[in-house]
């Protein structure tokens, strides 16, 4: 079952590279804050590297000006996410989260079977906006598209 507007973000863990690989609980990521979490099918993949992540890097200050934090998640390990962040010049205020085993992706019901492409289980491309862990908006891309999860689209559709 896919997560829906009004649902709580399921409790699970990500990992992040900070003085070694550290577990990060979804409660710690979402509690008490407004957050846009966007998911990419994979770090270093074409659309993710050329458009998706760069859009959020470019517009990070516009999100912050509205009191909204931003995090990126992919079904990759923390080392890959850290390397990708460095390669893309991701500023410190944009959290890069690894969902290496796809725990959150599966809990959200947003997994993508990319085994036909040799990529295994991945995440669908999406963006969600949550307040204190409650989903307020959910933008899931149709297969092969990049529109509704783009930073510009999400910014335009956030509550005023």
Q: What is the pLDDT of residues 109-123, one digit of tens each?
A: 999 988 888 787 889
55 belongs to a structural domain:
yes
Q: What is the pLDDT of residues 79-135, one digit of tens each?
A: 999 999 999 999 999 999 999 999 999 999 999 988 888 787 889 999 999 999 999
Mean pLDDT computed over every residue of the chain: 95
CATH label of the domain that carries residue 83: 3.40.30.10
Domain membership of residue 21 as a residue range: 13-157
7 belongs to a structural domain:
no
CA-to-CA dists, residue 131 to 4, 11, 12, 137, 148, angstroms: 14, 15, 17, 10, 19
Number of structural domains (the chain) is 1
Q: Which residues are catalytically annotated? A: 48
5 belongs to a structural domain:
no
2 belongs to a structural domain:
no
133 belongs to a structural domain:
yes
Within the chain, strands assigned E span 13-17, 21-25, 34-40, 69-74, 94-98, 111-113, 121-123, 126-131, 134-140
């Amino acid at each position: 079952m896919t997560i829906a507007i009004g649902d709580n973000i399921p409790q699970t863990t990500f990992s992040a590279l900070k003085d070694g690989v550290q577990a990060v609980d979804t409660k710690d990521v979402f509690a008490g804050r407004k957050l846009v979490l966007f998911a990419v099918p994979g770090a270093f993949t074409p659309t993710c590297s050329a458009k998706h992540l760069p859009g959020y890097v470019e517009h990070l200050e516009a999100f912050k000006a509205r009191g909204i934090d931003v995090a990126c998640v992919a079904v990759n390990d923390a080392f890959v996410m850290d390397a990708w962040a460095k390669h893309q010049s991701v500023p410190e205020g944009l959290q890069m989260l690894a969902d290496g085993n796809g725990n959150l992706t599966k809990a959200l019901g947003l997994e993508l079977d990319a085994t036909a492409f040799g990529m295994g289980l991945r995440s669908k491309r999406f963006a969600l906006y949550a307040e204190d862990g409650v989903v307020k908006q959910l933008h899931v891309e149709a297969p092969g598209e990049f529109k509704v999860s783009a930073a510009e689209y999400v910014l335009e559709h956030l509550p005023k």
